[in-house]
Amino acid sequence: MRDKRIVVTGGTTGIGRATVRLLAQQGAHVVTVGRDADALAAALESMRDLPGRVHGITADLGTRAGVEALFAAADERLGGLDALVSNAALGADPIDAMEEGLGDTSSPSTWSAPCRRPGRRWRGSAGAGKW
C-alpha cells in the first residue's frame, strides 16, 4: 500500500477509522471525511505519527457539494486517486427522494460526475482502470 492515494468515507469512527489507520500504517496516503468536526479532529490526531499521511475534511456526502468537496480535497492533498473505500452512506432519504443526480440509479456510481470530471485520472490496479 506504500504511497497509494486513497479516499475513505466515514473514516472518523468505527470500521472507517480502523480502515484509515490500517492503510496509513502500511504507508498509504489517505483523505477521509466525516460530518462531525470533533470526531474528525480526534481521528486525525490519533494517526499523525503513522507512516502514511492522513488528511480529513468535514462534509456531508448526502449532498452534491459534500461529494465535490471530498474529491477536490483528494486532488489537492493527494494529487490523484488510486482507490476509494466507500464506507459511509449517502443519506437517509429514499434513493428516489435524494438530491438530483445523487440517487440516479441509471448511473454505475452515484458519484460518477465528481469522479470523472475532465482532468481526473484513475490508474486502478496495475493500470487496469481508466477514466
Residue range 28-43, pLDDT digits in tens: 999 999 989 999 999 9
pLDDT tens column, 106-127: 433 444 445 545 455 544 444 4
- Quote the CA–CA distance of 32 and 64 in Å, as a whole number: 17
Q: Which residue has the cell 437517509?
A: 92
Cα 122 vs. chain centroid, distance in angstroms? 14
Indicate the DSSP class of residue 12: T
- For residue 63, the model assigns a pLDDT of 83
Per DSSP, the chain holds a count of helices (H) and strands (E) of 4, 4
- Is pTM beyond 0.75 here? no
CA proximity to 117, closest of 103, 131, 104, 127: 131
Q: CA angle at residue 39 from 74 to 4, to 5 degrees?
A: 30
